[in-house]
């Protein structure tokens, strides 16, 4: 009998401990764990006739061993693209060839160095570099509402529109991130004017193109989207990363390569209404992407595509979209503004 009592007590203690544990951790998507060799930013110089000029490249993986290499005077500074070379993986290197600035370019990428020749006697030598957002890992201030700190999904629920709230079904990972799956989510708290800090990481989908390449979205009040997408090395349209979807492109494409953590710091000003309920001012968004200002007081007249609805004059939740891609999010906090 004594053994039976001890066994029952042990089981009760075990069940009590299980009830207090966080959501079980699950395996991450392979699209977030595979490597992208040779992909990323390169900086250095190009030399012709003994004169060195700054030169940079963004190496984009396309799948099947193919790469796109976009040349420009600088990175993340609005520099105009000089040309696009093609790359093909060949064992432990990528052979590079193409035309840019009216000249023929040839070279290779090996051991984090992109070098070769162009034109008649020109040479280029670029080394791989890695940037990091200055707001990565930003600590929430004392007056912040912490929505996700890597340990619990309790501040989010499924955004399915069910009469009864459905718990968040996203995957909680041991690295302090959550992975998109099984539908979008909304915060249990709602906000008027506010600032939000959020960190995200897009997966590597070399074969995908356009809106299927790491797509998600951050919706202020569940109604106004700042696009999340693998737009590394692209033009920077309103439908790409940093764009206010369908409304305004970013001033500059600040999208880092996939598999690299990025940040949004967003200031949202809700639309203003008269006492009679007439809208007098549109919603406004100011956005910093990886620490760089890409939108300033941009007016958003109406809800953007795929919003979760709600009354425009009332506060709304933070909505994170599921667009069928295993995007990661972490370190999400909101500061309400008076």
Chain centre to alpha carbon of residue 79: 22
Regarding whether 217 and 123 lie in a shared domain, the answer is: no
End position of a domain, from candidates 100, 129, 158: 129
Note whether residue 174 is domain-resident: yes
Note whether residue 25 is domain-resident: no
Number of helices and strands in the chain (H, E): 1, 23
CATH number where 155 lies: 2.60.120.560
Note whether residue 306 is domain-resident: yes
Regarding whether 197 and 52 lie in a shared domain, the answer is: no
Given a contact cutoff of 8 angstroms between Cβ atoms, the answer to whether 11 and 18 are in contact is: no
Regarding whether 234 and 301 lie in a shared domain, the answer is: yes
Regarding whether 156 and 113 lie in a shared domain, the answer is: no
Please name every residue paired with 333 in a beta bridge, in sequence order, or none if there are none.
146, 197
- The token duo for 132 is 């990091």
- Decide the pairing of beta strands 122-129 and 328-336: unpaired
Regarding whether 182 and 61 lie in a shared domain, the answer is: no
Note whether residue 32 is domain-resident: no
CATH number where 66 lies: 2.40.128
End position of a domain, from candidates 68, 103, 129: 129
Given a contact cutoff of 8 angstroms between Cβ atoms, the answer to whether 68 and 84 are in contact is: yes
Regarding whether 241 and 108 lie in a shared domain, the answer is: no
Regarding whether 232 and 204 lie in a shared domain, the answer is: yes
Q: What is the pLDDT of residue 77?
A: 94
Regarding whether 160 and 215 lie in a shared domain, the answer is: yes
Note whether residue 34 is domain-resident: no
Regarding whether 207 and 68 lie in a shared domain, the answer is: no
Note whether residue 225 is domain-resident: yes
- For the CA atoms of 173, 322, 216, 260, the dihedral, rounded to the nearest 10 degrees, stands at 20
**Each residue's pLDDT tens digit in the chain (338 positions)?**
444 444 434 333 333 333 333 444 678 999 999 888 899 999 999 998 888 999 999 999 999 999 999 999 999 999 999 999 999 999 899 999 999 999 999 999 999 999 999 999 999 999 999 999 999 999 999 999 999 999 999 999 999 777 778 999 999 999 999 999 999 999 999 999 999 999 999 999 999 998 999 999 999 999 999 999 999 999 999 999 999 999 999 999 999 999 999 999 999 999 999 999 999 999 999 999 999 999 999 999 999 998 999 999 999 999 999 999 999 999 999 999 98
Please give the radius of gyration of the chain, using alpha carbons only, rounded to the nearest integer.
Answer: 24
Regarding whether 151 and 237 lie in a shared domain, the answer is: yes
Tally the domains of the chain. Answer: 2
DSSP 3-state percent helix, strand, coil across the chain (nearest 5) = 5, 45, 50
pTM of the model: 0.90
Note whether residue 164 is domain-resident: yes
Domain enclosing residue 232, as ranges: 145-336
Note whether residue 35 is domain-resident: no
Regarding whether 329 and 217 lie in a shared domain, the answer is: yes
End position of a domain, from candidates 95, 129, 163: 129
Regarding whether 180 and 119 lie in a shared domain, the answer is: no
């Amino acid at each position: 009998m004594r053994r039976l009592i001890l066994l029952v007590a042990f089981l009760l203690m075990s069940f009590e401990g299980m009830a207090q544990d966080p959501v079980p951790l699950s395996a991450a998507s392979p699209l977030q764990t595979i490597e992208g060799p040779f992909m990323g930013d390169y900086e250095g110089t190009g030399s012709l006739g003994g004169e060195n000029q700054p030169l940079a490249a963004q190496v984009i993986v396309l799948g099947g061993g193919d790469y796109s290499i976009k040349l420009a005077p600088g990175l993340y500074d609005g520099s105009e693209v000089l040309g696009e070379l093609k790359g093909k993986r060949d064992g432990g290197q990528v052979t590079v060839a193409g035309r840019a600035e009216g000249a023929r370019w040839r070279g290779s990428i090996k051991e984090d160095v992109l070098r070769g020749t162009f034109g008649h006697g020109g040479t280029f030598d670029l080394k791989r570099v890695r940037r990091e957002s200055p707001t990565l890992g930003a600590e929430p201030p004392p007056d912040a509402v912490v929505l996700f700190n890597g340990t619990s999904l309790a501040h989010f629920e499924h955004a399915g529109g069910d009469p009864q709230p459905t718990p968040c079904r996203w995957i909680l990972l041991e690295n302090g991130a959550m992975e998109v799956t099984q539908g979008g989510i909304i915060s249990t708290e709602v906000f008027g004017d506010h600032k939000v800090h959020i960190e995200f990481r897009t997966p590597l989908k070399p074969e995908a193109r356009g809106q299927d390449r790491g797509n998600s979205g951050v919706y202020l009040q569940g109604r106004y989207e700042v696009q999340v997408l693998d737009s590394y090395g692209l033009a920077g349209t309103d439908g790409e990363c940093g764009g206010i979807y369908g409304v305004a492109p970013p001033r500059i494409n600040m999208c880092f390569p996939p598999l690299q953590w990025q940040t949004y710091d967003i200031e949202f000003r809700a639309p203003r209404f008269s006492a009679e309920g007439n809208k007098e001012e549109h919603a406004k968004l100011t956005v910093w992407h990886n620490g760089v200002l890409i939108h300033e007081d941009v007016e958003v007249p109406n809800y953007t595509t795929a919003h979760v609805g709600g009354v425009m004059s009332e506060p709304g939740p933070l909505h994170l979209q599921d667009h069928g891609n295993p995007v990661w999010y972490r370190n999400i906090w909101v500061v309400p503004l008076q």
